[in-house]
Structures are given as structure tokens and as C-alpha cells.
Structure 1
Amino acid sequence: MSELVDTGSGYAFLPAVRQYSTAVVATGDHAISRVRLTQPVAHEVAFELIGHHLAALGQPTTALCAIELRCPEPLSEQGFSDYNDRYLASLAHLGVDVADGSPVARSMVCPVVEPPTEVSLHAFSYVMPQFEIGPGGLVPLERTFVLSGSAEVPEGHSDYHGHIVARGNISQTGLRRKASWVLGEMTRRLGAIGADWQAVTAVQAYTGRDMGSLIQESVHPMVSGAVDWHACVPPMAELEFEMDARRVGIELRLAPTVS
């Protein structure tokens, strides 16, 4: 099992695949803030927006620790790989060290209704010093983290589609197997960063299938915070269910100016 790697920028990450880390955890006196955009911003200007937002806060671009993307439609394996090359180049241009793979956590899903015309930014998270009032004065916020999205397939296989859990099975039995596997992977990630489901304050579940009862029976009993169900599918063809989870200090809404 991988161990957390400290970036020296206010967070540590759990290595995964080249395009994203499995999870990020704030370190020291830092905590994670999340910004959700009121409308998606195209890839071409998304990283510029992130850079300007962090500069306005007096934070370095290396404070960026998580990104949530929206995609027009599921991609082929080659299309996914091609986009990841473009994505990593954008992170590198922003100043993030991606030489050994991206430390930034990521979710990337495709809306079923009104998808964007190109891959776009939905939300991003970053670290900065944050405090709360404790018995003896100001103390750092309780540990914050973001888990990357996971669909029903183990990461890192060259034969990606050959490892999809219950591939092609969209019966209730098949969907239950998919949801169970993803929930197990989220539980594993929490354990790897020294957390548990009680520490989670928000979960996002993504599927285009009618899985309300399955989410109710499998996810809700585990989580003390909210579960948001999005009508989205994972970014690669034949995948049906994805989840991510987080505990952050501040949640913001940002209305970008789009010309």
C-alpha cells in the first residue's frame, strides 16, 4: 500500500496513477477549501482562473490540491490517455510538479443532462492556513482531506475494460456489485490516510442509472454527512458508478465571468 507523500506545499498525497493521486490530506496549520463554480469553465481558461483565484488569496499555485471536471461524453481508452496528457501539461504550466505523476486529487464525470461541449472545470480545492477557536485560543482546523473519484474498476491496469466489476451487467445485482466495490475502495482510501467514514462531511455519487435504493442502503449508513447524487457517468465507456468524498474547512460558490 502506498504511503502519504508530503508536497511541502501544505498537503500530502497518496500516489495512484500518473494523472491523479488517490487522496490528499492537509498538513500542519493548513486546511482544504473547496470552490464550486456556478457554471462550468472550459479547460483552456480553467487553470488561469485557478491561478488568479489563488493569487488573490496570496497563495501559491502549488496550493491547488484537487480538481473536479465535467466531460461531454465517456471517452475511449486512447481519448482518456490523450486528455490526461493535456491535463498534466496544464498542471505543469500552473507550477504543479507532475514529473512523477500528479499529486492533485481528481474527479472527472460526464453529465447525463446538458453536458458541456468540452472538458470543463466544475470545482477545485486548495490548501491555506485556517484556524478555529479552541479552549486555549486559535488552533488549526481538524484534519481535512479529499478522496479522488473512483469507478468500479481497479486503477493502473493496461487492460482497463477487462477489469471492470460486473462489466455489462446493469441488473440490480450487477449494479449492487459495482456500488459495493466502489464503496470498498473508498473505505480502503480512508484507511490509507488514517481516516474513517465518520470524518467525511460530504460524498458525491455519480450514476446515470436508477440506483437510489442502492445508494440508500449502501452509502447512507456509512456517512455522517450529506450524500449528493449527480446524474453523471464515469469518464470511460462501460463504467456506471463513481464516488468521491471529502472533509474540507470552507465551501465557496464562485460565479466566473465568461465573455
Structure 2
Amino acid sequence: MTSLLKINESGGYRFLPGIAPYSSGVVAMPGFEIVHAALQTPLPWHAGLHAARRYLEGKNLTCHNLCAVELRCPQPYTMEGFIDFNTQYRSLLNAWEMIVDGLNPVARTNVAPMFDHPREAMLFAFSYSRPSDVSRSTFVVAGGGELPDGELAERRIVRVGETGPDALLEKAECVAEIMNSRLLGLGGSSELLTVLDVYTVHPLHSLLESVLISRLPAIASRGVHWFYSRPPIVDIEFEMDMRGVVHEEVVNL
């Protein structure tokens, strides 16, 4: 599946094509590594991305090295609202000339915290590529809920409108399959994962035992970071993202 990867020569990474708002994941090219940077204090998304760009330029990098973005929104969007936000978001990437052969190379996660939610969409974290002699593969798997890759349409949500135990298991199975598919597409493996994030407001214990640990074995040793949050679209109930990196930063922008 790595044959599906596209090259972002200016950024020093390859990406797995997704849809217009985001790619499905990114992996550093030889001679580069991907670094994860969490903001000490989240910023409004537009100002935050400008601040992230300045941060990278201060390291003699460019906006093209920005390869993944993590956002927090006030509440889940309607499908139409999500598409509208994506249009605004992509317009900034267009203005920065970050689109590669018509494809968006930047991976993304966007979720709505259940408590202490922001008043507007905020930049929570980002990942970037930099020249490095790190020999292992470093990568980010974009966020995904129980909406199979492809068209953004409510009818494609798994067990839409249902939150019973069986429905949640099926949703978690779908998400685990998406995560594994993207991981394989990036040429990664479970052994290289360093962080696995889960975003849901539903009980996690049974999903871990019945689905997640068997489908994503790294959880048994790495655990999961559970964010008590909702996915970005109304009626999506379960989301994950993952990464395999060597360096993690906390930054004040």
C-alpha cells in the first residue's frame, strides 16, 4: 500500500492522500523526522497556524514542514458546518501554496471536548518535519471516526444514530480498521507506534477488551490517551489517531 504515498518534496515527508480537508497520514522521508508539538496554551486556529509557521521559520524551516494539525472545536459540527469549516481551513493552505498536485498533504484531527470546550476552533497541537539523522520511521496517522475513508456523507456513518453496546463495538471495529489501513499505507507497524489517542464520551473498557487491544496490539504496552471528547461531526461517536515519533515538544507560541 505504500505505493499510494505521494511525495511532498518541499516538506521532507510523504503523505497518504485523503480528502480535500486533510490527508490520511504522513511519514518522514529519509534524512528527516516528524516531531510532535503540543501548545502549552491553545490558540484560535487561524492565528495558531500563523504562530506555528513563525515557530518553524525560527528553526530555519518553512510552512511546508507543517505536516499535521490537531484542532479542538466548541461542539460537533453538522455535516454542512464541517464542510464549511474545511473550506476556510483549506483556503489558508492554498494561500500558503501547501497543496501538492491538487492534494492536501497535511494530516488532521479535529474533536470537540465534552468539558471546558473552547469558544471557537483552536489549534491544540501540530507536527512538523525537520532534517534529522533519526534512523527509524516517524509518522502521524490522521484522526478518523466510524466514517469509512471517502465521501463525507451522513449515510456512510456506521450505525448512525445508535449508541448501544453492539453499535459502539461495530463503530470501534471500523475505526480500528481505518487506523490499521492508514498505518500500513504509511509503511508503519504496530511496534513503531508511540502514542494512540482515543476520542469518545462512551465507556471505553469493553471496547478495549473486545476490539482495540486485539486489533491494535500496541495498546497492550503503550496504553491509550483517552480524550473525553466527541468527534467533529454530529452522530460520529468514536475516533482515534496515532503516531510514531521520537521527539515530543510542548511549545509556547
* TM-score bracket for this pair, using the shorter chain length: over 0.9
Question: Percent of aligned pairs with the same residue?
Answer: 34
Q: Deviations over 1:85-115 (max 9, x none)?
A: 1101122333412661310000000000011
Contact 2:36–2:127 (CA under 8 A) maintained in structure 1: yes
Aligned residue pairs total: 247
Contact 1:67–1:125 (CA under 8 A) maintained in structure 2: yes
Equivalent residue in structure 1 for 2:226, among 206, 229, 247: 229
| DSSP-derived class of the 2:144 partner | strand
- Is 1:208 paired with 2:216? no
Structure label with greater radius of gyration: 1
Q: CA RMSD in A?
A: 1.6
Query: 2 CA distance for matches of 1:95 and 1:51?
Result: 13
> Which segments of 5 or more consecutive residues in structure 2 lack a partner in the other structure?
none
Equivalent residue in structure 1 for 2:99, among 97, 100, 120: 97
Equivalent residue in structure 2 for 1:46, among 30, 45, 48: 48
2:12 aligns with 10
Contact 2:148–2:174 (CA under 8 A) maintained in structure 1: no
Equivalent residue in structure 1 for 2:136, among 112, 123, 142: 142
| DSSP-derived class of the 1:18 partner | coil
| DSSP-derived class of the 1:157 partner | coil
Query: 2 CA distance for matches of 1:121 and 1:215?
Result: 28
> Which segments of 5 or more consecutive residues in structure 1 lack a partner in the other structure?
132-139
Superposition pairs of residues 84-123 of structure 1, within 5 angstroms: 84-97=86-99, 100-123=102-125
What TM-score, normalized by structure 2, do the two folds share?
A: 0.92
Equivalent residue in structure 2 for 1:32, among 31, 34, 37: 34
Where in structure 1 do 4 or more consecutive aligned residues deviate above 4 Å?
A: none
Query: 1:215, CA displacement in angstroms?
Result: 2.5
Q: 1:219 to 1:52 in 2, by over 3 A?
A: same
Query: 1 CA distance for matches of 2:179 and 2:150?
Result: 16
Q: Given residue 13 of structure 2, which amino acid in structure 1 is its aligned partner? A: Y
Contact 2:34–2:139 (CA under 8 A) maintained in structure 1: yes
| DSSP-derived class of the 1:169 partner | coil
What TM-score, normalized by structure 1, do the two folds share?
A: 0.90
Query: 1 CA distance for matches of 2:100 and 2:205?
Result: 38
